[in-house]
Structure 1
Amino acid sequence: MSIVGEQIKLARLRRNLSVAQVAERDTCSPLTVSRIEKGVPTVAIGIYLRVLYALQLDDDILWLAKEDKQGKTLQDLSLKTRKRASKKG
């Protein structure tokens, strides 16, 4: 969470926005934005989405778990291989 918060903070600073400006855009308190930037885990994911939207980064959430290599490997291992029926002649 602290890495995500740091990335959101850097995105805000790159846009030259204050915590108060982001809070106003996403209709939450400046304290909440600060908590996100510090990586406090109790902030609801909906608030994160509103902050990302305020920073015009809302499409980035679509990258979350997109490349699930481990899950795909596990799925492939559990697939049953089909065997052909014997030809009766």
Structure 2
Amino acid sequence: MQIVGEQIKLARLRRNLSIAQIAERATCSPLTISRVEKGAATVSMGIYLRVLYALQLEEDVLLLAKEDPMGRALQDLQLKQRERASKKE
């Protein structure tokens, strides 16, 4: 979460926006934005999403868990092997 917070902070700074401006756009307090930027796990996921929306980064949420090599490997293990039909004589 700390890395996510740092990335959000960098995105805000690149846009030259203050914490107060993002707080207003995300309809939360500046203290909450500070907590988001520190990666506080006590802040709800909804707040993180509103902050991303305020930064016009809402599409980034779609990238979460996009690549799932372990899940795909587990899924492949559960696939049934096709059995060949017996040859009729």
Superposed pair shares fold, TM > 0.5? yes
How far does residue 88 in structure 1 lie from its aligned partner after superposition? 2.1
Name the residue aligned to 2:73.
73
Asked if 1:57 is matched to 2:38, the reply is: no
Q: If the length of structure 1 is used for normalisation, what is the TM-score?
A: 0.97
What CA distance in whole angstroms lies between the structure 2 residues aligned with 1:69 and 1:15? Answer: 34
Q: Which moved more, 1:26-35 or 1:76-85?
A: 76-85
What CA distance in whole angstroms lies between the structure 2 residues aligned with 1:68 and 1:61? Answer: 15
Asked if 1:85 is matched to 2:85, the reply is: yes
Q: If the length of structure 2 is used for normalisation, what is the TM-score?
A: 0.97
Please show how residues 28-47 of structure 1 align to structure 2 within 5 Å.
28-47=28-47
Name the residue aligned to 1:22.
22
Q: Please list every run of at least 4 consecutive aligned residues from structure 1 whose deviation after the TM superposition is greater than 4 angstroms.
A: none
What CA distance in whole angstroms lies between the structure 1 residues aligned with 2:82 and 2:54? Answer: 50
Q: Structure 1 vs Structure 2: percent identity of aligned residues?
A: 75
| Root mean square deviation of aligned Cα | 0.7
What CA distance in whole angstroms lies between the structure 1 residues aligned with 2:86 and 2:42? Answer: 59
Question: For residue 6 of structure 2, what is the amino acid of its counterpart?
Answer: E
Residue aligned with 1:46, SS? helix
What CA distance in whole angstroms lies between the structure 1 residues aligned with 2:88 and 2:23? Answer: 73
Residue aligned with 1:85, SS? coil
